[in-house]
Amino acid sequence: MEILFTSVQDCLSCKNLDPITTTVTHILRKCFPKEHLPVATVRSSYFFPLPGNAKAEPPCEGSEGKWVSGDYESDGEEEVEKDLDNEDAESKEEDYDLETDVNKLRSRPVLDRPEEELGQYEAMCPELSHNFQELESESEEEKSLEDKTESLPSTPSHFIPSAASVKHPNYRWRNQSVTETGPDPREKDFKVPLQSWTKKEKCRWDQTDEKRDTAEAAQDADSCEVEDPARSHVLALYPLSKDAVWYKKMLYPECKSSVNPSPGGRLESSDIVTNLLEKHQGDIPFHSPRFYIARAKCVKSIPDYKDLAFPDFWGHQPPPYSKPMLERKYGVQRDKVLDDVRRLIQPGDVIGRTVFDLDEPSHSSPGAPGCLTFFSKFESGNLRKAIQVREFEYDLIMNADVNSNQHHQWFYFEVRDMKPAVPYRFNIINCEKFNSQFNYGMQLVMYSVKEALQGRPRWLRAGHDICYYKNHYRCSAAAGGGMRGEFYYTLTFSIKFPHKDDVCYLAYHYPYTYSTMMSHLDILEQNRNPKKVYWRQQTLCQTLGGNLCPLLTITAMPESRDDLEQFYSRPYVFLMARVHPGESNASWVMKGTLEFLVSSDPIADLLRKCFIFKIVPMLNPDGVINGNHRCSLSGDDLNRQWLTPSSQLHPTIYHAKGLLYYLRSIGRAPLVFCDYHGHSQKKNVFLYGCSIKETLWQAGCMVDTAVITEDVGYRTLPKILDKVAPAFVMNSCSFLVEKSRESTARVVVWKEMGVLRSYTMESTYCGCSHGLYKGLQLGTQELEEMGSKFCLGLLILYLKSLPCSKKVMAQAALLLDLEEEITDRAQRSCSNSSLETDDEPPCVEEIDYNTDSCSDGEDDFSELDQEIQECLSWVEGETEDEGATTGQTCSSKALRGLYISSQPASNSTALPLRSTALGAYSGFESSPV
């Protein structure tokens, strides 16, 4: 190996010798001694005792055996990982996986629970029984008082038993009543990396900042009097960097000498949080540090977090520009692999010092001279171990999902004590997926505390020399279920930190924590217009970990009693997100949806009058809180539990399905169901739906159209989104039903609830290969825009598909101006009829990401297209009688324009942001601070 390694060094500078270099590199990789990961066990560092008949003891290493089982892990929902050596076989297997039994495709299985149980979900639909009589009898003074107290979430009127009643000495708090939506009276103290605070008040909000009536405030204070001794803590301040002069100058410019670090590096001031809150400008829309602190104090986590990540506390503002995808440096992966080989051949400069260890903190050597300091014990954090390889190089190991030995993808950790302008190399060495968008232009994200305190609080795409490849570490046969151990993969990247002794955070994607979501809901409720927006925040259920899973109902308030009949008869739309914790992009899309729905935008106002929205914004709170990538605390993928969910192990799925069953039982099944996800191996935003015909055609089955009839309305919404949403690509959509997906939300809701438009919406972690954002990485602003554009698509779907009153039609014709609301088709770089192709560069582990389904090739399905065109024939038809007041579908010029195709234009270049078609939500107070 040493001879080969030495010889290949002379070939690196000559491209003509690349074939030799590549061959030698492959030989060196094959000869590299195989090792196990430098951890005691591949199982998660966190263990949670499960209720019922589930195991109550931590299973031994590898007992789950999911590594190489036949049930492939899928990312988002539909991703299937293939062995590169058996690509043809896998392609055939995919076709074989298609469901071809028409009876099963049409089946409507019986209830998975006694019918009498559905009665409990009536309380989750208060809008159907509310007569609004009390609103008319309220005096203006009472209304004013109610408006002042809107900052507190409404208390739900129903009770659903806790998912788990098992008692464990470390989880006394799990028996808390689920009817509470406010903070736990046994709230604990937290500290952010640059500060700490003492619990001076026992109430939820700062009394000087939140206006609440006297009785409610007194009740809150009384409820917080008793502290659980097992949950009380005496907290020390988190250590600062050794050189914190810049920080002291920022917070204490007038009294530099009075604030000094102690010998241990701890700041002796008790009013740091006050200074930070005073310094916060309050200019981050829909974010309040005070609200976040209050909600974070109530979070129930396995490690019992006592620290907050600064970015989540302080907030994030998207940058004013989009960042292009990273151009892959020639030979970067080969260079990284050879550098790994050099460790073995020339170990002289290898340090091999553990600087962070979640399992054995005493084995860590933080604070060593010239060494970075790592930390991850905060909400959604994930870093298990950090090993200093060389002076500026570190191997990192991620933690597996709780009660699992796999699902290593999500990471989120803090690093400090860095030197400026020095390229630090980080190697995450226990990745599982056999390829990643990191090979095709994707960057991780970084947040600088110093930048935030200087007025630039934002997550930014960061990193260079990024690549992803198979390494020499392998999973043991025991952890692989008794079969041959699988290899791990390395994600390697280099970063130059902008400031000396800064505190920075690195993450797989833009983090969005449970506390962020809960505080966001508080702010939305406070800032909505209660006279126009009907808002109810209830509790769907309590999670395994004792956290509350919120359920939202949003629609328009009836303007008068004459509108009540229309109010009660509005169709439902059911939206969910974040069933997979690592898919934080789904939460950013949901954030955009929620902010638009409660805004004063005229289109949002019209949309609320058309639908009743039932929304579960975070379906897996426990997984998000504890830094999981895919599973809940039970170690299960919740999106594979929809066929027969357990009320104890999968409470959020069980009760979400129960609510859908209830809506179906009263004849109010949703018009649209959509589950928001993220996708790590495809670009763009797209939908997965369900179609009998397309599935049978793809499987090569003969389809008798006289016998098999199908409403093609499932294609309408994605076609609309392809017109109105810049990040959405119709050609990436698929409508196939696979046997291996029969237990996902999309398929179960389609089959069991009879919802024609049942979708999974996938958002890329990376960027777009088509359209206005082609070549750009998606940021939080584009993801939020997608959420608002989805709402616009729902309105157009309503106007096209359902009977509309003359009043609604008139409003729609006025609002949906084609030039203002529809992205100009000339800005798109491809037409709808073209196939999506992959434009990604080759790498050592090359993969074909092309998963075009039958729906991607319009020419392949002329029969289906004929039906679709007949369904859309209203575009060319005559306008309905203007004198009619009901039974009309909107056929305004603006809507007709939605289906007028145009010629493709030249490729668009990188554009600045702030180009959302809907514009700012006028009249909406964006921050309570």
From the list 853, 759, 684, the residue with the least C-alpha distance to 97 is 853
> CB–CB of 410/384 below 8 Å?
no
d(CA 252, CA 274): 11
Number of neighbours of residue 55 by Cβ within 10 angstroms: 11
Helices 806-815 & 602-610, crossing angle to 10 degrees?
Answer: 150
Contact 326, 545 (CB under 8 A): no
Q: Is the dihedral of CA 849, 853, 859, 860 positive or negative?
A: positive
CA 615 to chain CA mean position, Å: 15
Q: What is the length of the chain?
A: 929
Contacts 24+ apart (CB under 8 A), 809-817: 809/888, 809/890, 809/892, 811/602, 811/606, 812/606, 812/890, 812/892, 812/894, 812/895, 813/890, 813/892, 813/893, 813/894, 815/602, 815/603, 815/606, 816/603, 816/892, 816/894, 816/895, 817/894
Single out the catalytic residue among 762, 782, 785, 836.
762
- CA dist 553 to 386, 575, 724, 834, Å? 44, 10, 25, 39
Tokens of 61: 């290493």
Q: Residue 79 corresponds to which amino acid? A: E
Neighbour count for residue 904 (Cβ, 10 Å): 15
Cα(814)–Cα(149) distance, integer angstroms: 36
Helix (H) or strand (E) holding 816: none
Catalytic residue at 762? yes
User: What is d(CA 273, CA 251) in angstroms, rounded to the nearest whole number?
Assistant: 10
Q: Using alpha carbons only, what angle is made at residue 430 by residues 494 and 333, rounded to the nearest 5 degrees? A: 45
How far CA 308 is from CA of 36, 294, 399, 804, in Å, comes to 33, 12, 19, 49
In contact, 712 and 694? CB cutoff 8 Å:
no
Report the 3 state secondary structure along 54-66. Answer: CCCCCCCCCCCCC
DSSP string, 448-498: EHHHHHTT---EEEE-EEEEEEEEEEE--TTTTTTSPPPEEEEEEEEEE-S
Q: Which residues are catalytic?
A: 762
